[in-house]
Amino acid sequence: MRKNYFMLFANCVAVKGASRGAIYDLQNEVIKLIPNILVDVLELAKTNTIDEVKAHFGHDMDEGIDRYISLLENEGYGFRTAEPHRFPPLSLEWDHPAAITNAIIDVGRRSNHNYEQIALALDGVGCVAVQFRFFDFIGPATLESVLKVYNGTRVISLELIVKYDPALVSQLPTLIYEYRRVRSVTIHGSPDEQRIKDERTGVELIYITAEIDSSAHCGQVSSDHFVSNIGFFTESQRFNTCLNRKISLDVAGNIKNCPSMTTTFGKLTDTDLKDVVRQADFKKVWTVTKEMIDVCKVCEFRHACTDCRAFVGDNPLGKPVKCGYDPHTMKWETTENKTVAWPVRDA
Amino acid sequence: MNIPDELKGKLPLNYHLLQKVEGHKIQRISLVASAFHQTRSRVSKKFYKPISRVFK
């Protein structure tokens, strides 16, 4: 049987942008940049043979189509088949069996959080990932008391952002070994920038020189934060990639969608999180997708980028102000030109 | 390599693995299986997206 169709593997999805496209490899977690015309070719190829696709373009692009197909085949993005109907597309439905998936807890010098109460409340709404952002010094003993209360909860991932302190840094390997829910640690205000992988746990310790002293530092959009996996890609189809199923406590203990936002939904001391997550006002930002946002809706990275609705300027549906990427020019507004020319593989 | 007829059109758990087999030589199976396992493993241990982005 002649294999006269070409298909992308179901877990490799082509996305068209303003000036170029991308193939999201949701299994190998890679984004491959491609010309937009190739996105059109791949779309047509879903229901047409390669010869029919070539004819559609008047046979002007025969050589290019052959070259692209061979390249995608060799790099493991697609395959030739005689039976395309045997390979239905991946379902892009996303759901999660809990009201909340992730949480941010901000801690400042004057914070008076009850960490046990926080852990119980987050467990009650099904949260699986919590990030603590300590803007000021925290001692090893206090940090241990924060981590300890997650034993026995359904939380599987704890991320820590802590202020550089030699006494704490020396104890971190012991703490992350003892409390295995800790998946990453960022140490701000460090003397040097470095990344060290803890040998026993595999947890990455990220040392940065910048001081993270408030929630105003959040919302940075960078290719370093891009994600290509099935959870993120499917969630991004109908939900906001940052705020969906997120709950936050700011330094004063106010319940918010995001610590950088102004709207509050009470304090944890007198409010049940289960009641908060039922409120339509609390959930309204969950469904702001990239397809609704100016500029972002034509960006080839719109299903890889974590959105930000806290820092958006005057237009609530505007592009995040901390994003320097222009999908029309394909350039980043930084001193470093991050444009990647096709077919370089961009992770 | 061809997929056995009895498996075609079905959606087994290793559906994507089968697709890789369809499109590639048999030698690729172990590599793909390994990558698949790693992906599953990562998802189960670490949250799948950035919770916040306070630095670049």
User: pLDDT tens digits, residue range A130-181?
Assistant: 999 999 999 999 999 999 999 999 999 999 999 999 999 999 999 999 999 9
Cα dihedral across residues B21, B25, B27, B31: positive or negative = negative
Cα(A184)–Cα(B13) distance, integer angstroms? 30
**Chain A residues within 8 A of B47 when measuring between CB atoms:** 101-102, 128-129, 156-157, 159, 183
Q: Which residue has the tokens 């892009």?
A: A92
pLDDT of residue A272: 97
* Contact between B22 and A104 using a beta-carbon 8 Å cutoff: no
Cβ-Cβ contacts under 8 Å between A and B: the total is 110
**Chain B residues within 8 A of A217 when measuring between CB atoms:** 54-55
* Partner-chain residue, chosen from A78, A217, A241, that has the shortest CB–CB distance to B55: A217
pLDDT of residue A343: 35
- Asked, for residue B52, whether it belongs to a domain, the answer is no
- Asked, for residue B10, whether it belongs to a domain, the answer is no
Total domains, chain B: 1
Reply yes or no on whether the pLDDT at A225 is more than 80. Answer: yes
Please list, in sequence order, all residues whose beta carbon lies within 8 angstroms of the beta carbon of residue A271, skipping any fewer than 6 positions away.
A255, A265
Over residues B29-52, mean pLDDT: 59
- Asked, for residue B38, whether it belongs to a domain, the answer is yes
- Asked, for residue B54, whether it belongs to a domain, the answer is no
pLDDT in tens, A5-28: 999 999 999 999 999 999 999 988
| Banded pLDDT at B6 (limits 50, 70, 90) | low
**Chain A residues within 8 A of B15 when measuring between CB atoms:** 10
Reply yes or no on whether the pLDDT at B3 is more than 60. Answer: no
Cα(A330)–Cα(A267) distance, integer angstroms? 43
pLDDT in tens, B22-40: 544 443 343 444 444 444 4
Please list, in sequence order, all residues whose beta carbon lies within 8 angstroms of the beta carbon of residue A83, skipping any fewer than 6 positions away.
A1, A5, B8
Reply yes or no on whether the pLDDT at A256 is more than 80. Answer: yes
3 state SS of A162:
strand
Q: Is the pTM of this model over 0.95?
A: no
Q: What ipTM, to 2 d.p.?
A: 0.88
Question: CA–CA distance from A295 to each of A157, A242, A320, A323 (Å)?
Answer: 33, 17, 10, 11
Q: Per the structure block, which two tokens stand in for A338? A: 């991050």
Reply yes or no on whether the pLDDT at A91 is more than 70. Answer: yes
| Banded pLDDT at B46 (limits 50, 70, 90) | confident
- Asked, for residue B24, whether it belongs to a domain, the answer is yes
Contact by Cβ (8 Å): A18, A297: no
Cα dihedral across residues A108, A106, A182, A29: positive or negative = negative
State how far residue A347 is from chain B, nearest Cα, in angstroms: 15
* Contact between B50 and A188 using a beta-carbon 8 Å cutoff: no
Per the model's pLDDT, the better-predicted residue between B46 and B15 turns out to be B46
**Closest by CA position to A285, among listed A319, A315, A318, A242:** A242
pLDDT of residue A335: 43
Q: Which amino acid is at B7?
A: L
- Asked, for residue B27, whether it belongs to a domain, the answer is yes
The region of weakest confidence among A1-15, A245-259, A322-336 is A322-336
* Partner-chain residue, chosen from B22, B35, B52, that has the shortest CB–CB distance to A27: B35
Domain extent at residue B34: 15-44
Q: Would an 8 Å CB–CB cutoff place B10 in contact with chain A?
A: no
DSSP H helices, B1-56, are 15-23, 28-45
Cα(A254)–Cα(A258) distance, integer angstroms? 10
* Partner-chain residue, chosen from A133, A232, A235, that has the shortest CB–CB distance to B54: A133
Cα(A282)–Cα(A240) distance, integer angstroms? 13
Over residues A261-273, mean pLDDT: 96
pLDDT of residue B7: 53
pLDDT of residue B2: 56
Residue ranges with strand state E in A112-249: 129-134, 157-163, 182-188, 194-197, 204-207, 246-249
**Closest by CA position to A155, among listed A124, A180, A130:** A130
Q: Would an 8 Å CB–CB cutoff place A56 in contact with chain B?
A: no
Helix (H) or strand (E) holding A81: strand A78-81
Cα(A91)–Cα(A286) distance, integer angstroms? 21
- Asked, for residue B53, whether it belongs to a domain, the answer is no
